């Protein structure tokens, strides 16, 4: 039924407050909205009244539908309190996450071709080595440590450096820039500056690879018709998309597991569940919690008429907790079948690095449980600082200890 006639003139802003004491659960208002109206009106940060998709089926329908655009010059932030942005220029050549087909298609095809079976196999071996090195370092550093600094951040950062062929010594500066790029408190200028710094560095690296190729993705891509400028942007995109996301999945995943000790133990005693556990943690945690699309034409969806130009916020975390798709959605159950979650998106932009991310999580989290069976939080769960101010949810720090009598 067309419900547009009954809609209020004003629409609420995006609910962002998570329930007190339940850091892994989405804002409760998102659940109420999903129950009442899986597609509802929403006021964006700049005052634009658009839409919010919270139901699993509607979320998938929006992100699978090419009538909804990813072009950044059309985008608006749904997150209240984010710095108001002026007009945004179109994506630079290479920034295909912010392009529609067919511009997106050409880049996506070249990139998919560069994630070869051989490259993935080599990266998997490196993930295992890097993880083992960091477990050793943790052990030496302990019996208390910040798991974010000592484990969750360096592993994905070193893996991306390996993928791109970036010297490991340069990873610290990338880390800071990547955090700035996803920080809602950073001004757009700061965001662009961080991205620009990474891009400038990678530009030099790409021309070095052109004259002296090494065995990595950037060197491979120099044999295509992509320009140095495009390659630098693609490298910066891979860094910004693959670093914070994976790091926060590892850190927030460890936090969730330490709050569910039986499940943490299961990861150690039953290594066969690792694959399912990774999918379930992706579903349950939904670190990339909210996406945005813009209607290019009028679209009838779920009984509503979305007008051309309307922005649609897509709540990944609400979709992943939809009881119509996942029974007992608020229960973390590493043995459940969580496939169908939208944590990597869906449709043409579905995460390019998902295979690699799965390998990283599937190695790093079980390895932690095996090496540190007595791992526990070193502070009260309520004192773990949460990333409530970022496009990527997670924890700023995760103080852990493994010393003590509970072994």
Using the contact rule CB under 6 A, the part of the chain among 236-244, 259-267, 294-302, 328-336 near ligand HEM is 236-244
**DSSP β-bridge partners for residue 175:** none
CB of 6 to ligand HEM, least distance (A): 31
CB of 360 to ligand HEM, least distance (A): 7
Per-residue mark of binding to ligand HEM, 81-110 (x: CB under 6 A): ---------------xx----------x--
- In angstroms, what CA-CA distances link 148 with 53, 217, 378, 386? 32, 27, 13, 12
249 binds ligand HEM (CB under 6 A): yes
- Selected from 266, 288, 317, 319, the binder of ligand HEM by CB under 6 A is 288
Using the contact rule CB under 6 A, the part of the chain among 174-182, 265-273, 331-339, 352-360 near ligand HEM is 352-360
238 binds ligand HEM (CB under 6 A): yes
Sequence-distant (≥ 6) Cβ neighbours of residue 369 within 8 angstroms = 257, 264, 265, 267, 268, 375
**DSSP β-bridge partners for residue 183:** 390
Using the contact rule CB under 6 A, the part of the chain among 143-151, 185-193, 284-292, 393-401 near ligand HEM is 284-292
CB of 21 to ligand HEM, least distance (A): 25
206 binds ligand HEM (CB under 6 A): no
**DSSP β-bridge partners for residue 69:** 294
Q: At how many degrees (to 10) do helices 354-371 and 274-285 cross?
A: 110
**DSSP β-bridge partners for residue 386:** 395
**DSSP β-bridge partners for residue 144:** 401
Can you tell me the distance from the alpha carbon of 69 to that of 308, in angstroms, rounded to the nearest whole number?
11
Using the contact rule CB under 6 A, the part of the chain among 19-27, 52-60, 145-153, 337-345 near ligand HEM is 337-345
Using the contact rule CB under 6 A, the part of the chain among 118-126, 267-275, 332-340, 349-357 near ligand HEM is 349-357
205 binds ligand HEM (CB under 6 A): no
Can you tell me the distance from the alpha carbon of 228 to that of 226, in angstroms, rounded to the nearest whole number?
7
- Selected from 40, 179, 315, 343, the binder of ligand HEM by CB under 6 A is 343
Q: Is 53 helix (H, G, I), strand (E, B) or coil?
A: strand
Contacts with ligand HEM in 44-63 (CB under 6 A)?
63
390 binds ligand HEM (CB under 6 A): no
Q: Which two tokens stand for residue 335?
A: 């043995």
Sequence-distant (≥ 6) Cβ neighbours of residue 16 within 8 angstroms = 27, 79, 80, 81, 388
- Selected from 31, 235, 242, 329, the binder of ligand HEM by CB under 6 A is 242
Q: How many CA atoms lie within 13 A of 299 on its CB side?
A: 25
Measured on CA atoms in the order 367, 373, 377, 378, is the torsion positive or negative? negative
Sequence-distant (≥ 6) Cβ neighbours of residue 191 within 8 angstroms = 180, 181, 183
Tell me the number of residues near ligand HEM by CB under 6 A: 24
- Selected from 253, 345, 366, 394, the binder of ligand HEM by CB under 6 A is 345
**Closest residue to ligand HEM: CB criterion:** 353
Sequence-distant (≥ 6) Cβ neighbours of residue 290 within 8 angstroms = 14, 78, 79, 313, 314, 315, 316, 317, 391
Comparing CB distances to ligand HEM, the nearer of 143 and 347 is 347
- Selected from 27, 38, 291, 329, the binder of ligand HEM by CB under 6 A is 291
Using the contact rule CB under 6 A, the part of the chain among 28-36, 82-90, 235-243, 254-262 near ligand HEM is 235-243
253 binds ligand HEM (CB under 6 A): no
Residues in touch with ligand HEM (CB under 6 A): 63, 70, 96-97, 108, 237-238, 241-242, 245-246, 249, 287-288, 291, 343-345, 349, 351-353, 356-357
């Amino acid at each position: 039924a067309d419900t547009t006639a009954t809609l209020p003139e004003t629409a609420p802003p995006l609910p962002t407050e998570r329930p007190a004491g339940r850091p892994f659960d989405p804002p409760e208002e998102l659940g109420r909205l999903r129950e009442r109206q899986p597609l509802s009106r929403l006021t964006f940060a700049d005052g634009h009244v658009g839409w919010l998709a919270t139901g699993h089926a509607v979320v998938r329908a929006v992100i699978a539908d090419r009538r909804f655009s990813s072009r950044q010059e059309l985008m608006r932030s749904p997150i209240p309190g984010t710095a108001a942005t002026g007009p945004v220029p179109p994506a630079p050549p290479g920034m295909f996450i912010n392009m529609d087909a067919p511009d997106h298609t050409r880049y996506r095809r070249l990139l998919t071709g560069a994630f070869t079976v051989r490259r993935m196999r080599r990266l998997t071996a490196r993930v295992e080595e890097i993880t083992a090195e960091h477990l050793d370092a943790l052990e030496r550093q302990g019996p208390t440590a910040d798991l974010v600094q000592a484990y969750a951040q360096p592993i994905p950062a070193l893996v991306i450096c390996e993928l791109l062929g970036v010297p490991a010594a340069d990873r610290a500066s990338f880390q800071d820039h990547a955090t700035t790029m996803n920080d809602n408190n950073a001004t757009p200028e700061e965001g662009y500056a961080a991205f620009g710094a990474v891009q400038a560095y990678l530009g030099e690296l790409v021309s070095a690879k052109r004259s002296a190729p090494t065995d990595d993705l950037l060197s491979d891509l120099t044999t295509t018709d992509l320009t140095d400028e495009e390659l630098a942007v693609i490298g910066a995109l891979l860094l910004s998309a693959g670093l914070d996301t994976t790091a926060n999945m590892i850190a927030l995943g460890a936090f969730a597991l330490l709050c569910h000790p039986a499940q943490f133990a299961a990861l150690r005693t039953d290594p066969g569940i690792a694959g399912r556990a990774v999918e379930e943690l992706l579903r349950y945690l939904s670190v990339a919690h909210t996406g945005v699309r813009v209607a290019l034409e009028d679209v009838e969806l779920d009984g509503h008429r979305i007008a051309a130009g309307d922005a649609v916020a897509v709540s990944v975390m609400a979709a992943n907790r939809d009881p119509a798709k996942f029974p007992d959605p608020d229960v973390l159950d590493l043995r459940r079948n969580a496939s169908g979650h939208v944590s990597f998106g869906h449709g043409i932009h579905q995460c390019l690095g998902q295979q690699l991310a799965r390998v990283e999580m599937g190695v790093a989290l079980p390895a932690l449980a095996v090496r540190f069976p007595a791992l526990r939080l070193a502070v009260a769960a309520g004192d773990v600082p949460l990333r409530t101010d970022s496009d990527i949810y997670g924890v700023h720090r995760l103080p852990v200890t493994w010393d003590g009598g509970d072994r």
